[in-house]
Structure 1
Amino acid sequence: MSIAILYRWRVRPGYEAQFRQAWVEGTALIHQRCGSFGARLHEGEDGLFWSYALWPDEECRQRCFRGSGVLDHPAFPRMQEAVAEHFKEVRLEPCDDLLQPLPATTRGNKP
């Protein structure tokens, strides 16, 4: 069964675009190299950025961050530069799933 991880960040004012661009690059790389099922980034009304990432299992996720070298990509230092505060990850075990893929016209970055 898959697992989901919630990530949260408070981004430094004026660094939102840098954070989002680095998140997109880094997350795409993780998907390509590590076999994650992808992720979504949300900007909350509380000013925090939230990401929901889906993984095949915890072993796959740990293997990605331990030995793949993925975190050596330049996107991750750019992302960290933009972060004022990083909150503890929350692991979720999916039990019911009614999430549908986004229509093609709404995918990608907002204007």
Structure 2
Amino acid sequence: MQMIVYLYRWKIKAGKELQFEENWSIVTEAILDQCGSYGSRLHRSAQGEYLGYAQWPDQLTREKCELDASVQDARVLMRDAIEFSYEDDLLEIRSDYLVHQLHVSP
């Protein structure tokens, strides 16, 4: 299976972590349903930064992704929680030993 991966990283405003997490999930589910992504994972580092790992079939699919208005509020709330957003990083998969599973929430 061909695939590309993007790594996203954010510093979240103090006290807005839950707001970010909840709205990240809403936006990510919409991306799965509407844009053809292969899914994403959200992580929190020991330093408190958030990292998102998103898999796509190819760069064109990601670039063509347009979400409908149903998630506009979630996108606004997600952005409101972000203090700083680092540049997206395109990763090339060289070796893959991840075990793929169904959606899991903590």
Decide: shared fold, TM above 0.5. yes
Partner of 2:95: 96
Shift of 1:69: 3.6
Q: 1:32 to 1:76 in 2, by over 3 A?
A: same
**Match of 2:11?**
10
- SS at the partner of 2:64? helix
Letter in 2 for 1:93: E
Corresponding residue number in structure 2 for 1:36: 37
* Cα distance change of structure 1 residues 60 and 103 upon mapping to structure 2, 3 Å threshold: closer
The CA distance in 1 between the partners of 2:7 and 2:49, in whole Å, is: 12
1:23 alignment partner in structure 2: 24
User: Judging changes above 3 Å, is the alpha-carbon distance between structure 1 residues 69 and 29 closer, same or farther for their aligned structure 2 residues?
Assistant: closer
The AA in structure 1 aligned to 2:49 is L
Sequence identity (%): 33
Please list every run of 5 or more consecutive structure 2 residues that lacks an aligned counterpart in the other structure.
none
Q: CA RMSD in A?
A: 1.7
Q: State the Cα distance separating 1:53 from its structure 2 match.
A: 0.1
Question: TM-score scaled by structure 2?
Answer: 0.91
Deviations 1:15-69 (A, max 9, x none): 00000000000000001000000000000011100000000000000000xxx24
Aligned residues: 104
Query: Which shows bigger deviation, 51-60 or 92-101?
Result: 92-101
**1:87 and 2:93 matched:** no
CA, structure 1 residues 70+13, in 2 after alignment: closer, same or farther (shift >3 Å)?
same
Deviation at residue 93 of structure 1 after TM alignment: 1.1
The residue number in structure 2 matching 1:63 is: 64
Q: What is the CA distance between 1:102 and its match in structure 2?
A: 4.5
Match of 2:97, SS state, is coil
Q: What stretches of structure 1 of length at least 5 have no aligned partner?
A: none
Q: Is the 8 A contact 2:4 2:57 kept in 1?
A: yes
